[in-house]
Structure 1
């Protein structure tokens, strides 16, 4: 009897470990907005001719082609050029192109690598004013930025992703402003800028969508007659949900999706693989998000309908022209799903692939990104 009993004990322990891992993954995925980690040491700050360069450890991120930002504690930032300079074994340097007013980086500072290039509308050369959107969660701060036509009835609503501030969308706001759209850069519940609700946890777009829905109503009240939704990562998930609502069939004219989350199950698996876990471990989190018996242990008040957030399964519901911008090196939201959606809906989806990581297609090739978005918007306006 000892053999079967021992085997049963091992199986029970394995099941318990699996359940525990699934809970940990679900809690981390939905965790309330946290402060940024500053885990990249500045090795040296040098003068290279007439320019300043910052020496960093050589990593997959720091050697990525394109223009990026170093974020520092206290809200300081340094913008970096695309040029990568060799500094010997394990080190590289990148030239500084701009620095936050009054800030001087120094050796032994610690920073965070980021694709967020503009911290405020003013940094992006945009004139904005603050508005508060009345949402079901409470007033949600937003930036309103009028385009070249201040009376435009064409609006673009910019929706940031999970764990990212709304400033990350300013890369796209520059383009929609140039084309003449009025832009609304929104926040939503539990994103660190919008109103806090419940435990402060994310529902992966399932309830956040209602706050962005309120932003659409604000735009309508302000004279919008045509809306393009510009969603980043989880923000793309929100945009897809809104575009599928029948009441907006004549209002939402198009979607621009940057590094979209199209299927949460595949996305969770990809993030597990990115952190060194087996991709299949992501499947262990799904019951904790979808089961009424388990979801409260995660800290959520209700289940997340992940099946309703699968836009590969719902591809037939896509009804408006859609531009997708996605990086081949995206370790968070698999670009393979964007390719699949483009194959399923070639009548509506234009897919543009970049050599970049998650939400960093702009950074990898700014000029191509901007011209692609501008051309798509201009063609859509002409077609209308």
Structure 2
């Protein structure tokens, strides 16, 4: 302090300096939070190019494979195991032995590639890769969508039938996911149509190559409903896994062809994206303001340059808990309390809001979209019983 400078002026300078520092810190925090919101939003909307191989392969022989311990490695059931960046595929079965450092499971077969020299892999819910794996007749068909022909598998019922099921896979997977449902529907006399939709790697892509979380994908499923009706279907069931569940819910609440749909089967579905996105954000330790900002970004037209999407997504329109009274047809809802990706919260809420039309089968231990894998007998029985009631 100089001889003529008063203490109050020094204090004022200190306060001003502190204010500038705090303001800069707050601005930096806001910028960082904004960047995280953009990253989260783009991650949700952008189809992934590759999947993490989060398991270590410790060894294998002709009938077993030994993996590093993890939730996936230690969950009972039948699963796919992908390796070599998805160029390789094997099927694994029940746990043979386990210890704190290793899990040995049945190796049911290697369909693609070789496990020799492979050290990393990931577990997936697909078990069948093609209709031919089921030992049934099938044919490749194209569904005429607004974006162009979308390939599908048509698997006729064992006997001529006007009852059809349209299988709709979830986010970041393809129609192979729906193959698990073919046997139980076929035994019930259904023809199966397993479809692709925009941006899934099989169907034509949209101009922005972004998911709309069901907000536009439903139009491709509407085209599949029209295809089924044009080919003799008089009773159509839509079955959707995960985001496929969100998509078929949009069909029956927005399509002019909704009257052709007799019922829905929803497996690990997204019933309310707001709940799902909060859960995903929490899983990545994102604070609430970042999560809220990300949802605002995907909902606003001005943010298209940040998210890359062509049109905003109406998350409220995708909330079928709030819109539960708009539903008019029977629904079988299958979800696990240990889903790990999409919480069963909204599924429970929908079941509570519409007990008159919703049959809720809540599993435990099974992971996201892997209820069949964990307990195929219970999964098949639940669908069979529901279809029997639907036929009355």
Aligned mate of 2:77, from 53, 57, 66? 66
Which has the higher mean CA deviation after the structures are superposed, 287-296 or 243-252? 243-252
1:94 equivalenced with 2:123 (yes/no): no
Supply the distance in 1 between the matched residues of 2:289 and 2:134 (Cα, whole angstroms): 41
1:81 equivalenced with 2:96 (yes/no): no
Contact 2:136–2:155 (Cα < 8 Å) also in 1: yes
Q: CA deviation at 1:5?
A: 2.5
TM-score (norm 2): 0.91
Contact 2:80–2:89 (Cα < 8 Å) also in 1: yes
Which has the higher mean CA deviation after the structures are superposed, 52-61 or 276-285? 276-285
Q: CA deviation at 1:276?
A: 4.3
Residue 68 of structure 2 corresponds to: 57
Contact 2:95–2:103 (Cα < 8 Å) also in 1: no
Deviations 1:190-243 (A, max 9, x none): 111110121311111111111111111111111111110000101111111111
Q: Structure 2 unaligned runs (5+)?
A: 1-15
Q: CA deviation at 1:33?
A: 4.1
Supply the distance in 1 between the matched residues of 2:336 and 2:328 (Cα, whole angstroms): 24
Q: Secondary structure at the match of 1:58?
A: coil
Supply the distance in 1 between the matched residues of 2:124 and 2:287 (Cα, whole angstroms): 26
Contact 1:157–1:185 (Cα < 8 Å) also in 2: yes
Matches within 5 A, 1:195-274: 195-245=204-254, 247-274=256-283
Counterparts in 2 of 1:24 and 1:246: CA distance versus 1, 3 Å? closer
Q: CA deviation at 1:328?
A: 1.0
Supply the distance in 2 between the matched residues of 1:105 and 1:246 (Cα, whole angstroms): 46
Q: Secondary structure at the match of 1:170?
A: helix
Deviations 1:135-162 (A, max 9, x none): 011110000011122x311111110011
Q: Which has the larger radius of gyration?
A: 2
Supply the distance in 2 between the matched residues of 1:165 and 1:259 (Cα, whole angstroms): 16
Which has the higher mean CA deviation after the structures are superposed, 355-364 or 275-284? 275-284
Matches within 5 A, 1:341-356: 341-355=350-364, 356=366
Supply the distance in 1 between the matched residues of 2:278 and 2:76 (Cα, whole angstroms): 26
Q: CA deviation at 1:336?
A: 1.6
Q: What is the RMSD of the two structures over their aligned residues, measured on CA atoms?
A: 1.7
Residue 37 of structure 1 corresponds to: 52
Residue 188 of structure 2 corresponds to: 179
Supply the distance in 2 between the matched residues of 1:311 and 1:84 (Cα, whole angstroms): 42
Residue 189 of structure 1 corresponds to: 198
Contact 2:78–2:93 (Cα < 8 Å) also in 1: yes
1:125 equivalenced with 2:135 (yes/no): yes
Supply the distance in 2 between the matched residues of 1:166 and 1:353 (Cα, whole angstroms): 24
TM-score (norm 1): 0.93
Contact 1:43–1:107 (Cα < 8 Å) also in 2: no
Supply the distance in 2 between the matched residues of 1:94 and 1:280 (Cα, whole angstroms): 43
Deviations 1:308-330 (A, max 9, x none): 00011111111110001101111
Contact 1:33–1:192 (Cα < 8 Å) also in 2: no
Counterparts in 2 of 1:369 and 1:45: CA distance versus 1, 3 Å? same
Supply the distance in 2 between the matched residues of 1:181 and 1:339 (Cα, whole angstroms): 28
Residue 116 of structure 1 corresponds to: 126
Which has the higher mean CA deviation after the structures are superposed, 367-376 or 65-74? 65-74
Contact 2:83–2:118 (Cα < 8 Å) also in 1: no
Supply the distance in 2 between the matched residues of 1:313 and 1:114 (Cα, whole angstroms): 32
Deviations 1:13-66 (A, max 9, x none): 22211111110001011113423333423110136xxxx110100001100122
Counterparts in 2 of 1:173 and 1:296: CA distance versus 1, 3 Å? farther
Q: Secondary structure at the match of 1:270?
A: helix
